[in-house]
Amino acid sequence: MRFAIVHFGGIFVEFAGRSSRLVEGVLAVAATAAMMFFGNGLEPVWPFLWVAPLPVLWFALRSPWRSGALAAGVAWLVGCLNLWGYMHYLGLPPMAWLGGFGLEATVFALAVLLFRALVLRGAAWSALVSFPASWVTFEFVRNFAWPHGTAGSLAYSQLSFLPFLQLASLAGPWGMSFVLLLLPAGLAIALFLRRTASRQSRRMLAVTAGTVVAVLIFGAVRLRVPQPGPEVHAGLAVSDKRVPGGGSDPEPTLQAFAEKASELAAGGSKVILSQEGLVTLTDSNVATGDAILQRLSDESGVMIVLGVNRETASAAFDQARVYRRGHAVASYNKEHLLPPFELNFTPGKALLHLNEASGMWGVAICKDMDFTPLSRQYGRSDIGLMLVPGGDFNVDRGWHGHMAIMRGVEDGFSVLRAAGRGYLTVSDGRGRILAERRSDLAPFVTLAAQVPTGHSWTLFQLFGDWFGWLSTGVVVSALIRLVLRRREKEAYSGAEGQAFMH
């Protein structure tokens, strides 16, 4: 009888333990997924992402590795449901969402497992840096391997947090993602060690908090330092609606744009920017189109940057054409094309530098600003102002439209970005939005603002993706350390066994 009571008592305790762990796992998944859902995506509430991984990290440290991995992967995948509607809006199949975010969930789960293994084997400091470094390595490698560049980086969730955004001038999006994930890693380790190693727990908390505070102090100081150089009065003009009588004939649309440009020039604008692909210019009508805007430029002295689809007998280009008084028409062809929508265009190969009285200006188009190398090349040429015709999909006007802002912080220039179905945005080299309007407020929406044109040198501009390479090295080092720790443990266990036998 006593044996039966003890036996059933043991079963009950085991069942209660499993039930408790299940409840903890569900709560951890729900908390992380919810904070991921609201803290990232098209309209992120940036504070949530700072602590989003904490619940699953804490759960993984107190659970079997399979449970920890499952909780991390499921939490990430559920959190990414905030982009399900966006991908459907773009016409992508459900498998595209599952494939892309399934890979992210797998990488996140592996990062959590590496973190867990290092902490439980006594390598807490390696765990602290290996968790954020693992994710940064993924973002960094993905940046080279897919056609969307840095899009999808966690760093973009923090564009509104200006003191933190200044870290991009040192380490690009890679440094921002690292510090963003360093905080929950440090908190999870400090909580885990608070009873068994209270001194190390306090040191872990101090180092983690100190790193974040140092980054924010740097950001606050940089925000107080004004961008150098003179200011220029700039104008942007965008239309989301088809101009009556336009159709395949670009002249009505160009005349309507020229009227708005004339108004902006009369108001003092020295440069006027249109959206991407405002009209299509072919060999048969390009001379007529150029004449309309060149005449306006010659008469007013204003620079005009027009986004067009340029079709020739042999190729088609997503192009920006630049009209300046006393200069021949210059052009820039978009380098990074958006698949599958722009695969009919031939990618460009050359940058366009404009030597103006206020300094050097550069031209790029829309998706070009999703990639760090092109903007870095402009930054190394002392560019102080980037002129960027763009086009978005309405729902992503903030998420994708504001990526260009980070390029300005990384490489020390202001950005004029005029996007159809998006925003007309003026931002400076510190990431501040100086002026902004939606493109769908009128048949032709205009915006005018003063913008600084001086260039600021940055560490990221000088040394490029150094932090991405450093993070990759940290992950490799952590994996080597984990293997060595395991071998040491096996060797110790073997030595103990031999001593016992003798």
Q: Where a domain ends, among 420, 436, 455? A: 455
417 and 370 within one domain: yes
What residues are paired with 452 via a beta bridge?
231
208 and 139 within one domain: yes
pLDDT digits (tens, 9 = 90+) for 273-319: 999 999 999 999 999 999 999 999 999 999 999 999 999 999 999 99
Contacts of 154 (CB under 8 A, 6+ apart): 40, 49, 135, 139, 176, 177, 180, 181
272 and 363 within one domain: yes
pLDDT digits (tens, 9 = 90+) for 156-188: 999 999 999 999 999 999 999 999 999 999 999
376 and 417 within one domain: yes
Kindly tell me the burial class for residue 329, based on how many C-beta atoms sit within 10 Å of its own C-beta (0-12, 13-18, 19 or more). Answer: middle
295 and 310 within one domain: yes
How many domains, the chain?
2
205 and 182 within one domain: yes
Residue 255: name the closest of 444, 483, 30 by CA: 444
Rounded average pLDDT over 465-478 = 96
Establish if 485 belongs to a structural domain. yes
Q: Tell how far CA 422 is from the center of its chain.
A: 17
Q: What is the pLDDT of residue 483?
A: 85
Q: Is the dihedral of CA 476, 481, 487, 493 positive or negative?
A: negative
Establish if 108 belongs to a structural domain. yes
pLDDT for residue 489 is more than 90: no
Residue with tokens 């980037």: 386
Q: What is the pTM of this model?
A: 0.92
Confidence of residue 491 (pLDDT cuts 50, 70, 90): low
Task: Choose between 498 and 462: higher pLDDT.
Answer: 462
485 and 410 within one domain: no
**Cα–Cα dist 63/66, whole Å:** 8
pLDDT for residue 42 is more than 60: yes
Establish if 245 belongs to a structural domain. yes
Establish if 141 belongs to a structural domain. yes
Q: What is the pLDDT of residue 444?
A: 93
pLDDT for residue 7 is more than 50: no
360 and 299 within one domain: yes
Residue 181 one-letter amino acid: L
C-alpha distances (whole Å) from 253 to each of 37, 147, 156, 209, 282 are 41, 32, 35, 55, 15
202 and 144 within one domain: yes
pLDDT digits (tens, 9 = 90+) for 402-438: 999 999 999 999 999 999 999 999 999 999 999 999 9
**Cα–Cα dist 423/426, whole Å:** 10
Kindly report the CATH number assigned to the domain that includes residue 308: 3.60.110.10
The two structure tokens encoding residue 418:
């005029």
Are the CB atoms for 169 and 219 separated by under 8 Å?
Answer: no
Establish if 432 belongs to a structural domain. yes
Rounded average pLDDT over 362-373 = 98
Q: What is the pLDDT of residue 244?
A: 63
pLDDT digits (tens, 9 = 90+) for 9-27: 444 444 445 678 899 999 9
45 and 95 within one domain: yes
Task: Choose between 10 and 57: higher pLDDT.
Answer: 57
Average pLDDT score, the chain: 93
Q: What is the pLDDT of residue 18?
A: 66
Q: What is the pLDDT of residue 437?
A: 98
Rounded average pLDDT over 81-85 = 96
Establish if 118 belongs to a structural domain. yes
pLDDT digits (tens, 9 = 90+) for 322-339: 999 999 999 999 999 999
pLDDT digits (tens, 9 = 90+) for 241-274: 876 655 678 999 999 999 999 999 999 999 999 9
Establish if 11 belongs to a structural domain. yes
Rounded average pLDDT over 90-112 = 95
Q: Where a domain ends, among 437, 455, 473? A: 455
Q: What percent of the chain has pLDDT over 90?
A: 88
216 and 236 within one domain: no
The two structure tokens encoding residue 485:
């720790």
pLDDT for residue 2 is more than 80: no
Establish if 460 belongs to a structural domain. no
Are the CB atoms for 36 and 79 separated by under 8 Å?
Answer: yes
Q: Give the domain extent around 382.
A: 231-455
Kindly tell me the burial class for residue 291, based on how many C-beta atoms sit within 10 Å of its own C-beta (0-12, 13-18, 19 or more). Answer: exposed
236 and 200 within one domain: no
